[in-house]
Amino acid sequence: MKRFNIKSLLFIAILLAASFNKLYSAGGETEPLKVDWSFKGITGKFDRASLQRGFQVYKEVCSSCHSMQYLSYRNLGEPGGPEFSKQEVKAIAASVEITDGPNDQGEMFTRPGRPADKFKNPYPNVKASIAANGGAYPPDMSVLVKARPGGSNYIYSVLVGYEDPPEGITLDDGVYYNKYMIGNKIKMSSPLSDDIVEYSDGTQATVDQMAKDVTTFLSWAAEPELEERHRTGVKVIIYLVLLTTLVYLSMKKIWSRVDTEV
Amino acid sequence: MSDQEYIPKSKAGKWFNDRLPLLTLGAHLTDYPTPKNLNYWWTFGGILTFCLLTQIITGIVLAMHYVAHADLAFASVEHIMRDVNYGWLIRYIHSNGASMFFLAVYIHIFRSLFYGSYKSPREVIWIIGLLIYLLMMAAAFMGYVLPWGQMSFWGATVITNLFSAIPLVGDSITTWLWGAYSVDNPTLNRFFSLHYLIPFLILGLVVLHIWALHVPGNNNPVGIDIKKPSKDTVPFHPYITIKDAFALLMFMIIFAGFVFFSPNVLGHSDNYIPANPLVTPAHIVPEWYLLPFYAILRSVPDKLGGVILMFGAIFILFVLPWLDTSKVRSAVFRPIYRQFYWIFVLDVLMLGYMGAMPAEGIYLVLARVGTIYYFAHFIIVMPVVGLLEKTDPIPMSISEPVLTGGADPALARKDNEKI
């Protein structure tokens, strides 16, 4: 009986440990908001329209400071992403000037972007981006969602979490108060305001809508394989369960020859 | 071992087997008499072999695309994730595979602790197993450094700095390990080289581990010596192979669950931030499977003391067969030790939890208590309980369970002496 007690103690300890985990990391910041993202869960998929709107927000707002150096323009047309048409991808790529070269004369030159090009950096290097942003590095957005505890919920929360600092907190110039940001202080001013972009599909560009759209886009950028991963995963698990059942039945049959249970 | 002389049926087979007895080896592995009462905790040996091979195969493919350079490593990992065909799948199998490997090895080790598999005549199997475990930790640590994210860099900095605690030559050794004056490109480069080497050393030790196992044969849940072959044993194939296959498939379902549906839950989000020597993460934590040792390290206020205790926590396991004074192997028949066993499991889990928390306040106090108990379990509990404990009667054979037959204490005691 005693052994049973210790085992249940073990179980309780594990449960406690799991719940304590959530308490940890709690500084002054509020727990991120919970959004019911379409891409969560084992069959989760991205909302295509939201991805396209999110790209627009990224392009017109974020990309003036934030790089996204691991993505190529062609990714925008690939399955599982915003799935822009071939023509649209070409047009998006052609809208930026890419420095290429050296050519046969040994000189660098500029040309319109091609789908195979990586997303163009807004600054020539990290130091330039820090210098232009009051000493704060605007992080590369390629894997930003994976690089923050809380992921998509956290990014969304920060975008909508700007407010006036509570009594007793004074902020330096160029520092803003955000109730979800780790440490509550952020050097990026609130990037979104109502109707800062004009959606071509007629969706009302509220701060909340844009925050959701751009977070969806960033979630795809961090995990472009997500839809294929979910799809393959379901197939793999079904296959394994069937195979396990067959092997289980074979095992039962084989072991029926001896007097031992398996 | 009672292998009958194996004679291949075909002439060519006989010709070859006379020159290299591979077919004899195959026949031995097929017929190998295995206790028929092995439970599912015994399937983790096969599962671990699968884990090792999975890591080696996915690792070789990853190495074809990975670039071991401080400026390029992070980008090359993203290249694998985005541009290599099924690169995301291969990398997620490899990174989650490390965690699954450790999950399996911990179950395997705790199985051995419960059923006394480390005791005579299996000490050498146990020691080879511990060497494998040590190499696994080294391989996992260096592998975690390769993506060159923030946790990679700072984890490498913390762990390599441990060596600077060695008196007099510590700093020189650390510089020598780094190949530079801090964790830098030369460090990354050599870690990649060693990360590629170690799995093959492990593979070699696995062969020795299995070889050493096949000399006395498997322990079993009852923990008694059995005649082989006898009605207490079954041939390895098909009985154990099919059972191992079933358990492996169950394991693979859990494995696939991680890979496909939460591939990053066991990692740290900071490792998706490129390494930056100028920015220290708020909390530097190792991967979950190293946390108990990290807790022991930090529970000592003195750096050298912490390092000694951390390595001591592993090395004490090497002398475990001689610290355990009990003549009975299986904890099933050891009512007192069984209690301490579960307290010890609880203690290790608690240490793991404390390793993830900041080393301050109540966490530090609990980590210290846990550390003291960890060593007390081996140095005090195991020798003392082994001497004083009155064990339950032990059956004479697997086929004659003590509970149904009505135990004869005289027989049980006789059996004790044999062990």
ipTM of the complex: 0.91
Question: Is A250 found in the same domain as A193?
Answer: no
Question: How would residue A6 be classed by pLDDT, with cut points 50, 70 and 90?
Answer: low
B21 and B43 together in one domain: no
Give Cβ neighbours of residue B353 (< 8 Å, ≥ 6 apart). A17, A20, B291
User: Per residue, what are the HEC states of chain A?
Assistant: CHHHHHHHHHHHHHHHHHHHHHHCCCCCCCCCCCCCCCCCCCCCCCCHHHHHHHHHHHHHCHHHCCCCCCCEHHHHHCCCCCCCCHHHHHHHHHCCEEEECCCCCCCCEEEECCCCCECCCCCCCHHHHHHHCCCCCCCCCCCCCCCCCCHHHHHHHHHHCECCCCCCCCCCCCCEEECCCCCCEECCCCCCCCCCCCCCCCCCCCHHHHHHHHHHHHHHHHCCCHHHHHHHHHHHHHHHHHHHHHHHHHHHHHHCCCCCCC
pLDDT of residue A139: 96
Is A261 inside a domain boundary? no
Q: How far is CA A48 from the centre of its chain?
A: 15
Query: Is residue B289 assigned to a domain?
Result: no
What are the backbone angles phi and psi of residue B34, rounded to the nearest 5°?
-120, 140
Q: What is the pTM assigned to this prediction?
A: 0.92
Q: List, in sequence order, the alpha helices (H) in B316-360.
A: 320-323, 335-356
Residue B221 to residue B41: CA distance in whole angstroms: 9
Cβ atoms of B355 and B292 within 8 Å: the answer is: yes
> Do A156 and A214 belong to one domain?
yes
Which residues are A112's β-sheet partners? A97
Low-confidence winner among A101-115, A136-150, A159-173, B93-107 (lowest mean pLDDT): A159-173
pLDDT on residue A169: 87
Q: Measured between CB atoms, does B25 come within 8 Å of chain A?
A: no
Chain B residues whose CB is inside 8 A of the A230 CB are 260-261
Q: Do B130 and B189 sit in the same domain of this protein?
A: yes
- Residues B9-20 as b/e (b if ≥16 CB within 10 A, e otherwise) read eeeeeeeebeee
Indicate whether A207 and A242 sit together in one domain. Answer: no
Q: Please indicate, yes or no, if residue A87 is contained in any of the structural domains.
A: no
Chain A contact set for B250 (CB, 8 A): 244
Do the chains contact at A143 and B272, CB–CB below 8 Å?
Answer: yes
Decide if B270 and A13 are in contact by the 8 Å CB cutoff.
Answer: no
Same domain, B240 and B276: yes
Residues A142 and A219 in one domain: yes
Residue A59 lies in a domain: yes
- Quick one: A231 and A208 in the same domain? no
Tell if the CB–CB gap between A232 and B260 is shorter than 8 Å.
yes
Give the closest-approach CA distance of B242 to chain A in angstroms: 6
Whole-number pLDDT of residue A86: 97
The crossing angle, in degrees rounded to 10, of helices B185-214 and B150-161 is 70
Cβ-proximal residues to A223 (8 Å cutoff; 6+ apart), any chain:
A145, A146, A229
Residue type, B197: L
B238 Cβ under 8 Å from any chain A Cβ: yes
A37-47 pLDDT, tens digit each: 999 999 999 99
Segment among A58-67, A74-83, B287-296, B403-412 with least mean pLDDT: B403-412
B61 and B188 share a domain? Answer: yes
The shortest CB-CB distance from B242 to any of A21, A233, A250 is to: A250
At which of B284, B316, B331 does a domain end?
B284
Residue B290 lies in a domain: no
The rounded radius of gyration (Å) of the Cα atoms in chain A is: 25
Strand partners, A110: A99
The per-residue pLDDT for B157 is 97
Q: Could you tell me if B53 and B81 lie in one domain?
A: yes
Amino acid at A47: D
All residues at 6 or more sequence positions from A63 whose CB lies less than 8 Å from its CB, including other chains: A119, A122
Q: What letter would DSSP give residue B357?
A: S
Task: Provide the domain limits for residue B374.
Answer: 298-399+407-419
- Asked if residues B343 and B327 have their Cβ atoms less than 8 Å apart, the reply is no
Same domain, B124 and B84: yes
> Does some domain include residue B307?
yes
CA gap A225, A81 in Å, rounded: 9
- The verdict on residue B292 lying in a domain is no
Q: Is residue A7 situated within a structural domain? A: no
What's the pLDDT band for A15 if we cut at 50, 70, 90?
Answer: low
Residue B293 lies in a domain: no
The span from the CA of B185 to the CA of B73, in Å, is 10
Range of the domain at A246: 226-255
Residues A149 and A249 in one domain: no
Would you call B256 an interface residue with chain A, using a CB distance cutoff of 8 Å? yes
Are B224 and B372 in a shared domain? no
**HSE-CB for B407 with a 13 A CA cutoff:** 15
Structure tokens at B42: 């015994």
Give B269's contacts in chain A (Cβ within 8 Å): 146-149, 151
Instruction: Write the DSSP string, B3-47.
Output: PPPP--SSHHHHHHHHHSTHHHHHHHHHH-EEETT--GGGGHHHH
**Residue B163 maps to a domain:** yes
Based on the domain organization, do B126 and B87 belong to the same domain?
yes
Distance from CA of A43 to the nearest CA of B (A): 9
Q: Flag if B342 and A10 touch (Cβ within 8 Å).
A: yes
Tens digit of each residue's pLDDT, chain B (419 residues): 445 679 999 999 999 999 999 999 999 999 999 999 999 999 999 999 999 999 999 999 999 999 999 999 999 999 999 999 999 999 999 999 999 999 999 999 999 999 999 999 999 999 999 999 999 999 999 999 999 999 999 999 999 999 999 999 999 999 999 999 999 999 999 999 999 999 999 999 999 999 999 999 999 999 999 988 899 999 999 999 999 999 999 999 999 999 999 999 999 999 999 999 999 998 999 999 999 999 999 999 999 999 999 999 999 999 999 999 999 999 999 999 999 999 999 999 999 999 999 999 999 999 999 999 999 999 999 999 999 999 999 998 887 755 444 444 444 444 444 44
DSSP string, B250-290: HHHHHHHHHHHH-TTTTS-GGGGSBP-TT---SS----GGG
Task: Indicate the number of domains in chain A.
Answer: 2
Regarding whether B324 and B245 lie in a shared domain, the answer is no
Put simply, whether B253 touches A (Cβ < 8 Å) is: yes
* Residue A4 in domain: no
